[in-house]
Amino acid sequence: MRITHRQLEAFVQFMETGTVTSAADRMFVTQPAMSKMLAGLETDLDLTLFHREKRRLIPTDEAQLMYNEIRRLFASLADIERFAEDLRTFRTGELRITTAPMIGLTLIADAVAEFSKSNPEIDVLMDMSSNVGPDVLASNVDIGFSATQFQHPALTIEPLIHVNSVCIVSQNHRLAGRSHVGPKDLEGEEFISFARDTRMRHITDGVFQQYRVSRKMRIEVFASAEANALVSRGLGVAIIEPLGVRQKFWPNVVAIPFEPVIEFTFSAFRPRDRLASPLANRFLNILRRQIRELHDGVNDLPHWMEVRLPGDTREKPDQGPLQMRAEP
């Protein structure tokens, strides 16, 4: 027969009280039941734990050594129980996030700040990536965020927010005071483009080709952060998603709504074959609320920034904005 937790507990109670009667009282059992558990433990361990003198049990040296070991094991079990309780109540754990740069520096950073304040014992590992979808598939992360169009049967993809692209110019540019701009307004402009193999580049070029507008195209960037940095120095114009401009990382950059609309969709990526992390769920709830507050104007929503939540209908369905899910 294998030893039981109950037998070990009975042994500890006896060693700490010194009598079978007192140990039985602590465990709310009869004296014969306590004696039976102690005798059974000796048999199962095949070890002499007690000398029996005049109906009294005298612990052997082996019993004292066994007591010390059992107390150590019980302390470890208590630690495991406390750790499990901490996990249940979010007092310990680790949240692993991978995110595209611009949403990571804006919406995700805002959510991480709030999450960390309300969960001070949780470790947050946040990584910037240009390949969020593949990284979520290949890495041991809980959740990823990107505008990349990446479909895979092993991923669950949840759209979080749709935003319209803007044209960015320096504050001294001739178009800085305009309420909106279109392709013809950018005829002959020094235009900062996204890399040639990106979906955003293909869509943007298609718009200008449709309107037969030519641009000066000497500079290519990977992300909208780089485009903002160059435009802030007076070097050309660009069409990007508006998150970084809203955050005012570059105060001398002016954002102007661009028509026809090019729409970005930022989404959450999660592994389909793993149970949803409770910490990731809690973080995602914070992010969803912050996005809704942005949409509702509770958080600063500039007049030039158009935001649509998943499920919302577009204000001008007849003009059908171009869908954009490329990496910003």
d(CA 286, CA 211): 42
Closest CA relative to residue 169, chosen from 257, 259, 242, 231: 231
d(CA 137, CA 198): 21
Task: Give the β-pairing of 190-194 and 155-164.
Answer: unpaired
Q: What is the dihedral of CA 92, 98, 99, 104, to 10 degrees?
A: 30
pTM for this structure? 0.68
Q: What is the dihedral of CA 146, 151, 157, 163, to 10 degrees?
A: 50
Domains of the chain: 5-88 (1.10.10.10), 94-161+266-322 (3.40.190.10), 166-260 (3.40.190.10)
Q: Which pLDDT belongs to residue 245? A: 92
Alpha carbon of 221 to those of 113, 161, 164, 239, 324: distances in Å?
29, 24, 20, 12, 17
Q: Which pLDDT belongs to residue 130? A: 80
Closest CA relative to residue 287, chosen from 319, 279, 32: 279
Q: Which pLDDT belongs to residue 133? A: 87
Q: With H, G, I as helix, E, B as strand and everything else as coil, classify residue 112.
A: helix
Extract the residue ranges of the chain whose pLDDT is less than 50. Answer: 317-328
Which residues 6+ apart lie within 8 Å of 238 measured at CB?
A: 167, 168, 191, 192, 193, 221, 224, 227, 228, 230, 231
* Contact present, 59 and 50 (Cβ < 8 Å): yes
d(CA 114, CA 295): 18
